Amino acid sequence: MNISILQENLSYALAMVARVVSPRVTLPVLSNLLMVAENGQLQFTATDLEVTITCQVAAQVHTPGAITVPARTFAELAQTLSDSRIDLVLDEQTLTLGITSGTSQAQIKGIAATEFPPVQPPAGEGLILPAADWKEALQQVTIAASTDESRPILTGVLVERNGQPDQLNLVATDGFRLSRRCLTVPVSESESFQVVIPARALRELVRVLHGDEQLSLQVLPNRVIFRWPGMTLTAQTLEGKFPDYEQIIPTAHKTRTTILTADFVQACRQAGIFAREGSSVARLAISPADEQGGSRITIRGVSEETGSNQTLIQAGVQGEALLAGYNVQFLQAALNVIKSPTVIFETLEPTSPGVIRPAEGDDDFIHILMPMHLAGE
């Protein structure tokens, strides 16, 4: 291997793939990045055996070749190289990669490329959607995925094309909240599918997606492949039965509250300062218009140690008054992924789930929150 590459191309590729490498590995080669130089491109691949990501960038390939190098060492070194051109030369005998940039020279010891887990290339086109749509949808649903490994299926996101050929459903739940986003997809004769993808892999996908490119999804046995220009991300799917989420989504409400999103976020942020000292519960008192004033919602956070905070927000309330408690951190997370300037909060009873949805611009996203017990109520 003998190649020359622009520093910006090298830094970009390493930034795209290096984070997949786990600091805790059972095989030394999994701490490395696979480098393959051929046909005017340098390709980097990183994997932890569950998520694999590949990035291709342009390079002058004088002699093709392949090697694996320590991800952390190479990424940190690349950040310090200031010259616009970097030369990479591999010593095939010692498996040492020589790096030259301006007056700086370094040698990194590698492991043979044959030791790296096989990388399976994608085949076919798959389901194609704008990357921007995927990114927004994934940001909205991954917030509800569980981080508790005792129920692995809940650490993933259900992606299904079932029944309606022009709709793709993305759903995540941790048992305390649920996010569902529907995407409109091109109608085709492809078969319906239902897979659960690790949320960790999808958060990585959100991190590396950018621009206005088209993203392809291929669903294969035991894995899915996302592909867009210069990049490929492969994730192993999770086994098990995902909860019947349709049974969780409320079908009725007694109170419907319309609130400015920015006001709701600010009030939750203030209440959270005090609520975090306890169980993170925020008290939401929803009041229709009465002799005391217009319709409103009051958000209150209380800490026995540090004090309390209460914010009153003017809101449009249709239905009955209600007092209920919700996890304020979960509330903020849901509001932060809604772009609509106003949100709708629907409730049935203090002990029933609350539903948050955008008031305008996106009828395909809903977020459901289970209530929390209010001490003394």
* pTM of the full structure: 0.91
Give the model's confidence band at 338: pLDDT under 50 very low, under 70 low, under 90 confident, else very high.
very high
**95 and 27 share one domain:** yes
Q: What is the CATH number of the domain that holds 42?
A: 3.10.150.10
Chosen domain end from 58, 88, 115: 115
**34 and 108 share one domain:** yes
**97 and 164 share one domain:** no
**257 and 357 share one domain:** yes
**138 and 241 share one domain:** yes
pLDDT, tens digit (0-9, with 9 covering 90-100), for 267-282: 999 999 998 877 899 9
Chosen domain end from 246, 275, 309: 246
pLDDT, tens digit (0-9, with 9 covering 90-100), for 116-162: 998 877 677 788 899 999 999 999 999 999 999 899 999 999 999 88
Angle, alpha carbons 219-222-227 (nearest 5°):
40
For residue 38, pLDDT beyond 80: yes
Q: Concatenate the DSSP letters of all residues of 133-164 into one string.
A: HHHHHHHHHGGGS---TTSGGGGEEEEEE-S-
**160 and 68 share one domain:** no
**365 and 254 share one domain:** yes
Alpha carbon distance 52, 208 (integer Å)? 13
C-alpha 43, offset from chain centre? 24
Which domain covers residue 156, as residue numbers? 128-206+236-246
- Please name every residue paired with 42 in a beta bridge, in sequence order, or none if there are none: 37, 57
pLDDT, tens digit (0-9, with 9 covering 90-100), for 75-115: 999 999 988 999 999 999 999 999 999 999 999 999 999 99
Residue 226 belongs to a domain: no
- How many residues belong to the chain? 377
pLDDT, tens digit (0-9, with 9 covering 90-100), for 200-229: 999 999 999 987 889 999 999 899 999 999
Share of the chain above pLDDT 90, in %: 79
pLDDT of residue 343: 96
**254 and 302 share one domain:** yes
**89 and 170 share one domain:** no
Residue 326 belongs to a domain: yes
Q: How many domains does the chain have?
A: 3
Alpha carbon distance 251, 45 (integer Å)? 46
Residue 215 belongs to a domain: no
pLDDT of residue 189: 58
**91 and 187 share one domain:** no
Residue 222 belongs to a domain: no
Residue 220 belongs to a domain: no
Residue 23 belongs to a domain: yes
